[in-house]
Chain A
């Protein structure tokens, strides 16, 4: 009988089995990340990794007004997540508990737009919202009213972000709500709880794993959003991702772009870690 942890040939069986995936992850995930981090310490406007490391890029960023872009990205990500939570919870509740055999159809309707490129869908919104477009043109020719187009305002950027990231909040939330055993609801009610108390004491805490996953996922995605501000916002706001793109392309300043990216990773990573520490997903899921 072969021992499960055979050490005869140097590597254990587990390590040998994990080796291909480890290599793949090192090459595909860790290497680019390390390259970006390395670039952030190179002198400005250099294109190699052989020069002496410096903190010039970070000094430049703290001296510049990049914090405004950071601020826009964080604010819009936070607003998007908050709006999505409010919009998606009732839908998730319905999908998990009320819609019955209609909920797979709704799932499909929420999924189908994902098959179309995000940019194409955003240009669709432009055609819909633009002056003399689908919405305003119809209003004008049918009712003779000509309201201002909301295109190229911060509000429409938010609309675009909520629209694009909705499925990423909805599906984990639906899973979270459907994880609540129905008998715990009934038991709470039987023990005298009102509907609101059942929600606050039982449903919300028990569906928290799904809600947390949705919040984190959409926040991380929304911080990295760029197309909504560009396409729908017409650059009324400049998110940090836009600054990073400019640094890597027009400005030809890779070390600056790399330093911005590293800072963004640190900020987002710290926030995520803080949240995960506060809400221990394993504990909520009852694994410990």
Chain B
């Protein structure tokens, strides 16, 4: 057999094996006694699409503003390609940010906006125009937009102009501060995919912040979930999705079944609010109290108790159509469960019908906290 390049030897998780372009070491930002960012350690690999996701007030905007040089870090290090850049002002950092408001220059045309960083660098007008037109093309904007006022562009077009302007700067890292949050759902979905495509085309490192884990899942190579100034969990979308570290991360993922549980002496897991013992795959070390997390797509309707490892009897309360899937709300006593199924042509389920729902031990996760 001929010796070809051994592709199988490439590590599965190649992203984190690359040298880090950006390293954060116990990075902290304090406002008085309050730590908005509370000692974050993180390595971001070159070429990675890294998303920091967290609710509002979690410190993610403060974090990205420190990385871009718009806020001074209180303590800790920001290391870019091996050099500490804490004291470098924003205009001296080889990084660039796309703002939530986009911060386009309203008195300038699309072309002038894109050319701004080139003009600052002192590149001559003819070369600037060539580059601006190439960027318009890359961002799927027609060339006649070059002379158009940015005020006459639609929301999606402005997004593209802002990204083109940032790319014209040719930064080592691009930061994004929730640029898609003010865009309507359908366009946002399109732009998310476009952004991921552009990430692939340019091969640059993207650091993106958002409050929507759904958005983070679509685009990111890795996600860091942030809460109260700390990174709670860092991992690939798949890791975050299938093994959330705690109740906060699992609930942040959207609709999920979370049951408060405790472990009794005989190493069995029982529900706190109703009488039921659960079969689980693994019990974390030193577990005594926590939550059992089951994703709604892993819960199914069963006809007999033996069809699944954990079965509960409840009443069907309501159903919601979610496009390709249908979500059911099942009430087990006072407890609400969510079940998701792929849409089928006909459904025999009726409201207030007594149903059996079940899941297998491998599909549930036991989390502390």
Taking Cβ atoms with an 8 Å cutoff, the residues of A that contact B are: 181, 183-184, 186-194, 197, 201-202, 205-206, 284, 286
Contacts and interface: CB of A to CB of B under 8 A. Distances in A.
Interface in B85-102: 89-91, 93, 95-97, 99, 101
B120 interface: yes
A181 B117 CA distance: 19
Task: With a 10 A CB-CB cut-off, give which of B93, B101, B105 has the most chain A CB atoms.
Answer: B105
B99 A187 contact: yes
Contact of A181 (B91, B93, B103): B103
Nearest to A287: B151
Contacts of A193: 91, 116, 120
Contacts of B89: 189
Contact of A183 (B90, B99, B116): B99
B101 A181 contact: yes
B9 interface: no
B120 A197 contact: yes
A205 B121 contact: no
20 contacts: A184-B103, A186-B90, A188-B116, A189-B90, A190-B68, A190-B91, A190-B93, A190-B96, A190-B97, A191-B117, A191-B120, A191-B165, A191-B169, A193-B116, A201-B116, A202-B105, A205-B107, A206-B106, A206-B107, A284-B107
B88 to A, nearest CB: 12
Given A191-B120, A201-B105, 9 more contacts: A184-B104, A184-B106, A186-B103, A189-B89, A193-B91, A201-B119, A201-B120, A206-B105, A286-B106
B314 interface: no
Nearest to A205: B107
Interface of B: 68-70, 89-91, 93, 95-97, 99, 101, 103-107, 116-117, 119-121, 151, 165-166, 169
Contacts of A187: 97, 99, 103-105
A202 B104 CA distance: 10
A286 to B, nearest CB: 5
Nearest to A183: B103
B199 to A, nearest CB: 19
A184 B121 CA distance: 18
A187 B105 CA distance: 9
Contacts of B105: 184, 187-188, 201-202, 206
B90 A190 contact: yes
B116 A191 contact: yes
A2 to B, nearest CB: 35
Contact of A191 (B96, B101, B106): B96
Contacts of B69: 190
B149 to A, nearest CB: 8
B121 A192 contact: yes
Contact of B91 (A183, A192, A206): A192
B107 A183 contact: no
B358 to A, nearest CB: 52
A184 B70 CA distance: 13
B71 to A, nearest CB: 10
A192 B120 contact: yes
Contacts of A181: 101, 103
A53 to B, nearest CB: 48
Nearest to B97: A190
Contacts of B101: 181, 183
A190 B169 CA distance: 9
A16 to B, nearest CB: 36
Contacts of B121: 192
A73 B106 CA distance: 37
A278 to B, nearest CB: 15
Contacts of B169: 191-192
A54 to B, nearest CB: 50
Nearest to A284: B107
A186 B70 contact: yes
